[in-house]
Amino acid sequence: MASDPRGPARTGFGASRRGTLDQVDDVWDVVIVGAGPAGSAAALRARQLRPDARILLLDRASFPRDKACGDGIAAHARAELATLGLPDLIADHRPARRLSVISPGGARVLATVARPNHVVPRLVFDARLVEAARSRGIEVRRHRVRALAHGGDHVVLDGAVRAGTVIAADGANSAVRRLIGIPASPDRHTAIAVRGYADVPADDDVQLIAMQREGWPAYAWSFPVGDGTANVGFGMLLPELRATGLPGREVLHGRLARLLPHLPARDLRAHHLPLSTGRPKPGAGRVLLAGDAGSFINPLTGEGIYYALLTGRLAAEAAVLSPAGPLPAYRRSLRRALGRHLVTTDLLARASRHPAFIDAAIETAARRGDVFDLLVDVGLGSGTVPPSLAAAVARRWLGSAVRG
């Protein structure tokens, strides 16, 4: 290729688009696209393992920025924060120890969780993660990635930045995923949810999940933050929403108001949730998909922050420890960390299409603390179900089916 008489651009985007790929001299070992939990975790882990590595964290937004979310941070996510060297990142927020679940048929359980969860608005949580990355020397730039080209041993973003490995952590509508030819999750594996904030008594400390038979699977939640407000929301599967034939906003806002009439919500904001039942291959070439970009959202609960922190960390480990072949390394570590769990949630998601199955599971959890703990572990962490328990729930489910 002819060289550009103006010479290669030094840094930044745009300027070097006029150059050739070979001229790109903004060179990094790992470039992470998206600075949500997955991207920040990836940056922090890469820095931890290879303090000398050149790591660039890009996000189209500047932080603090809001993100439509229930703000529920599972205990498992907190353990990931500790692994990243941030055990106290959310220690100033009140632990949420009690969880109440109402099944689609009205079975109820209210119990204390084995390890507390937290509720931290994403405006706060994500900004803290980005700040932690920045304070450890990660370069954070505001930039929206729009183009990607594969070189032999590298990837070039927007004709300007060259990366040994790209970690795509750019969320549910991942542009990077599209650019490497992996389509978005099919509708049948995608949920949509709206969240808002409502006033609650400051001592309300019960996380409530109220499942709905109408348009099942669907549920509303109220997650008290601990400051006199609660994150409230409602989510359902995309095909069920479309089947109503009504505008999405009308359905989501309307059902939230109907299900939690005592908690009028403000700041309503909706977003898609690509569920792990529709997960694609976890990348292509030198590009690894983490968090929502890789459809890592629990199909039973909509939990995605723990998965984002975990998969961001694993992607970074693959990028810095196996730079010659990051994708096979990432695939292997994903299989080790989440393989059996994802098979479990795939199967449970299929079984839970029958609301009576969930009724049976919640009824069992109401009587047995060990079952409650296990369901929390499957819904919010990387737990699996022992065959004996699956059999107990199945017996109850069949029993209720026989009874009518």
Ligand X SMILES: Cc1cc2nc3c(=O)[nH]c(=O)nc-3n(C[C@H](O)[C@H](O)[C@H](O)COP(=O)(O)OP(=O)(O)OC[C@H]3O[C@@H](n4cnc5c(N)ncnc54)[C@H](O)[C@@H]3O)c2cc1C
Query: Which residues sit at the interface with ligand X, rule CB under 6 A?
Result: 33-39, 58-61, 67-72, 144-145, 169-171, 175, 193, 195, 233, 271, 273, 291-293, 297, 302-306, 308
Alpha helices in 52-161 (DSSP H): 75-83, 122-135
| Cβ-based neighbour number of residue 365 at 10 Å | 23
Nearest residue (CB) to ligand X, 81 versus 360: 81
Question: In angstroms, rounded to a whole number, what is the distance separating the alpha carbons of residues 59 and 63?
Answer: 9
Angle (CA) 207 208 212, round 5°? 155
DSSP at 94: P
Token pair belonging to 10:
């030094």
Question: In angstroms, rounded to a whole number, what is the distance separating the alpha carbons of residues 313 and 62?
Answer: 22
Nearest approach in angstroms of CB 388 to ligand X is: 29
Nearest residue (CB) to ligand X, 39 versus 299: 39
Residues in contact with 281: Cβ distance below 8 Å, sequence separation at least 6, in sequence order: 182
Question: In angstroms, rounded to a whole number, what is the distance separating the alpha carbons of residues 26 and 165?
Answer: 14
Question: In angstroms, rounded to a whole number, what is the distance separating the alpha carbons of residues 215 and 144?
Answer: 36
Angle (CA) 128 134 138, round 5°? 135
DSSP at 4: P
Nearest approach in angstroms of CB 146 to ligand X is: 7
Nearest residue (CB) to ligand X, 133 versus 273: 273
Nearest approach in angstroms of CB 249 to ligand X is: 13
Residue closest to ligand X when measured from CB atoms: 304
| Residue that has been written with the tokens 């403000």 in this structure | 266
Nearest approach in angstroms of CB 126 to ligand X is: 7
Nearest approach in angstroms of CB 111 to ligand X is: 19
Nearest approach in angstroms of CB 203 to ligand X is: 21
Nearest residue (CB) to ligand X, 310 versus 329: 310
